[in-house]
Amino acid sequence: MGRTGEHAVVIGASIAGLCAARVLSEHFDRITMFERDHLPERPANRAAVPQGRHVHLLMARGADEFENMFPGLLDDMVRAGVPKLANRPDCIHFGAAGHVLGTKHRLRDEFTAYVPSRPHLEWQIRLRVRALPNVGMVNLGVAEPLFDPATRRVTGVRLEGGDTAAADLVVDATGRGTRLPVWLRQWGFAPPTEETVDVGIDYATHQVRIPDGLFEEKVVVAGASRRQPLGLGMLYYEDGLWGLTTFGTAKAAPPGDFAGMIALADQILPHHVSQALRRGEPVGEVARHKYPTSRWRRYDKLADFPAGIIPLGDSVVSFNPTFGQGMTMTSIQAANLRTVLESGARDVARPLAQLTAKTTYPVWTMNAIGDLVLHNAAGARPWWYRPVGALFDQFLGAAESDPVLAEWFLRRFSLLDSLYMVPSPRLVGRAVRHNMRLWRAERRAAAQA
């Protein structure tokens, strides 16, 4: 690997920060990670990651990306008890916008999925980063980066307490609360424009112990729809507990206690799953979390940007968490950083921003269409969002009983084949023909009744 510099600093030991440190370790002599929050020695929820208590999906693409960065990670997670979903149609119940897919046919081998809790995945990655000989972790916060106006570059960081650390590159992995736009103004640069969608997500999560053998599914997802603003996710994790998250879209409030969660499950889950949940025992207290706005900071559109600093992860873009794509999209950003560094580019920020915009655009756009058209989110929308959303609603309706269409959707939703969820004319035609056959069958049945 070509040497890029002597010392790099990563602000924040989130999953994005850990992945950044792993990539940087191939190109810098030393990497120092600064994290204000205490980093536990075992899997545990952290105060700096309030969303970590709620269910997280690791998409198939994300599992592949993390394995590329940390070889052996997936097998080690399985040895630690993380469920590995068998390639059977009864291991997952997946509902999207009021439609249920993937229960009528066997999925392909590429859909083999891993179901770690967020704290466990972060801990497994942190173990591997800590083992890197040129990476150090310091339990200390960063007050601000050091900016040199003469060279127009960031030269290091000022730590809480006043000490400084020089660096050839600083990575901002501080998440949605990033202060980089504020720092840019202070240094005389324009901040990035922002694209936002007011999704109005409200979460309530309980850990539940359910007796073994009551049902086969290990992942149960029932997404919100135009008519039903509430959704539910159940994932079976490595500790033998189920994470049960209920959520509301467009500012709808989810049930705040176990009895209310069961009542919602009775409405939107298969009967055998809701009945098994009724036999469950809640563990601990309900955790609440609000996610009002999805946000994409368009660093790729800036004409001027300081050298020596880059944002990564949620510092750039945070997606509606009910789609379950956040960790996977962070892993793709880290892969983009690796691509840029391996290219030998001296200006890391600009090509990284452009490459991240390229991988972000298709996922952000489809999420925005889903939120604004199918989930009642507030906000302005291009004229073409509504017809595309209506077309996709029809496509999902056909995919409920057409395994070819379901397979295509699940592979794209898992970000495997392509980040663009645009069906070919052949698939659109198949969906139209399928729905027409169903419509004619319903008309005949009604006429004979």
pLDDT for position 356: 98
Q: Are both 95 and 129 inside the same structural domain?
A: no
293-306 residue pLDDT tens: 999 999 999 999 99
CA-to-CA distance for 314 and 382, rounded, in angstroms?
25
Minimal CA–CA distance to 290: which of 244, 321, 269, 326? 321
Residue 345 is part of a domain; what is its CATH number?
A: 3.50.50.60
In this predicted model, which residue has the larger pLDDT, 438 or 36?
36
Query: Element (H or E) spanning 173, and its range?
Result: none
What is the DSSP secondary structure assignment for residue 369, as one 8-state letter? H
pLDDT for position 446: 77
Residue 1 confidence (pLDDT) above 60: no
When mean pLDDT is compared across 101-110, 244-253, 429-438, the lowest value belongs to 101-110
Q: Are both 226 and 359 inside the same structural domain?
A: no
The pLDDT-based confidence of 448 (bands split at 50, 70, 90) is confident
- Give one DSSP letter per residue of 230-257, joined into a string: EEEEEEE-TTSPEEEEEEESTTPPPP-S
Q: Are both 256 and 302 inside the same structural domain?
A: no
- Residue 237 one-letter amino acid: Y
Distance set, CA 147 to CA 31, 179, 268, 348, 364 (Å): 19, 14, 53, 17, 32
Quick one: average pLDDT of 231-240?
94
In this predicted model, which residue has the larger pLDDT, 58 or 18?
18
pLDDT for position 237: 94
| Phi, psi (degrees; rounded to nearest 5) at 260 | -65, -35
- Which of 367, 396, 417 is the last residue before a domain boundary? 367
In this predicted model, which residue has the larger pLDDT, 104 or 348?
348
Q: Are both 243 and 276 inside the same structural domain?
A: yes
Task: Annotate 337-363 with b (16+ C-beta within 10 A) or e (fewer).
Answer: bbebbeeeeeebbbbbbebbbebbebb
Structure tokens at 342: 């391996």
Q: Are both 167 and 303 inside the same structural domain?
A: yes
5-38 residue pLDDT tens: 899 999 999 999 999 999 999 999 999 999 999 9
Residue 73 confidence (pLDDT) above 70: yes
Q: Are both 341 and 436 inside the same structural domain?
A: no
In this predicted model, which residue has the larger pLDDT, 59 or 298?
298
CA-to-CA distance for 356 and 334, rounded, in angstroms?
9
Quick one: average pLDDT of 225-232?
90
Quick one: average pLDDT of 427-434?
87
Q: Is residue 157 a part of any domain in this protein?
A: yes
Q: Is residue 55 a part of any domain in this protein?
A: no
- Residue 35 one-letter amino acid: E
Give the Cα-Cα-Cα angle 24, 129, 323 (nearest 5 degrees): 85
Q: Is residue 67 a part of any domain in this protein?
A: no
pLDDT for position 87: 61
- Which of 367, 398, 424 is the last residue before a domain boundary? 367
172-195 residue pLDDT tens: 999 999 999 999 999 999 999 999
CA-to-CA distance for 416 and 13, rounded, in angstroms?
27
Minimal CA–CA distance to 250: which of 317, 194, 197? 197
Q: Are both 240 and 362 inside the same structural domain?
A: no
Q: Are both 24 and 161 inside the same structural domain?
A: yes
- Give one DSSP letter per residue of 62-128, joined into a string: HHHHHHHHSTTHHHHHHHTT--EE-S-TTSEEEEETTEEESSSSPPPGGG-EE---HHHHHHHHHHH
Residue 218 confidence (pLDDT) above 60: yes
What is the total count of domains within the chain? 3
pLDDT for position 39: 92
Residue 239 confidence (pLDDT) above 70: yes
CB-CB contact of 256 with 288 (8 Å): yes
When mean pLDDT is compared across 49-63, 151-165, 382-396, the lowest value belongs to 49-63
334-343 residue pLDDT tens: 999 999 999 9
pLDDT for position 269: 93
Pick from 131-135, 255-259, 322-326, 373-377 the range whose average pLDDT is largest: 131-135
pLDDT for position 281: 96
Residue 225 is part of a domain; what is its CATH number?
A: 3.30.9
- Which of 367, 389, 423 is the last residue before a domain boundary? 367
Q: Is residue 411 a part of any domain in this protein?
A: yes
CB-CB contact of 45 with 122 (8 Å): no
Q: Is residue 135 a part of any domain in this protein?
A: yes
CA-to-CA distance for 449 and 442, rounded, in angstroms?
11
83-133 residue pLDDT tens: 988 665 568 888 888 888 755 555 555 567 889 999 999 999 999 999 999
Q: Are both 166 and 287 inside the same structural domain?
A: no
In this predicted model, which residue has the larger pLDDT, 432 or 359?
359
In this predicted model, which residue has the larger pLDDT, 23 or 405?
23
- Give one DSSP letter per residue of 330-345, joined into a string: HHHHHHHHHHHHHHT-
- Give one DSSP letter per residue of 11-55, joined into a string: E--SHHHHHHHHHHTTTEEEEEEE-SS---SSS---TT-GGGGS-
Structure tokens at 249: 């879209």
CA-to-CA distance for 57 and 83, rounded, in angstroms?
12
Q: Are both 214 and 286 inside the same structural domain?
A: yes
The pLDDT-based confidence of 48 (bands split at 50, 70, 90) is confident
263-275 residue pLDDT tens: 999 999 999 999 9
Q: Is residue 54 a part of any domain in this protein?
A: no
Q: What is the mean pLDDT of the chain?
A: 91
Task: Annotate 124-148 with b (16+ C-beta within 10 A) or e (fewer).
Answer: bbbebbeeeeebebeeebbeebbbe
pLDDT for position 288: 92
CB-CB contact of 17 with 173 (8 Å): yes
In this predicted model, which residue has the larger pLDDT, 324 or 35?
35
pLDDT for position 106: 59
Q: Are both 183 and 320 inside the same structural domain?
A: yes
SS3 content of the chain, % helix, strand, coil (to 5): 40, 25, 35
Q: Are both 111 and 141 inside the same structural domain?
A: no
- Which residue segment(s) compose the domain that 134 sits in? 5-48+119-193+295-367
Q: Is residue 139 a part of any domain in this protein?
A: yes
| Phi, psi (degrees; rounded to nearest 5) at 208 | -135, 135
Q: Is residue 375 a part of any domain in this protein?
A: no
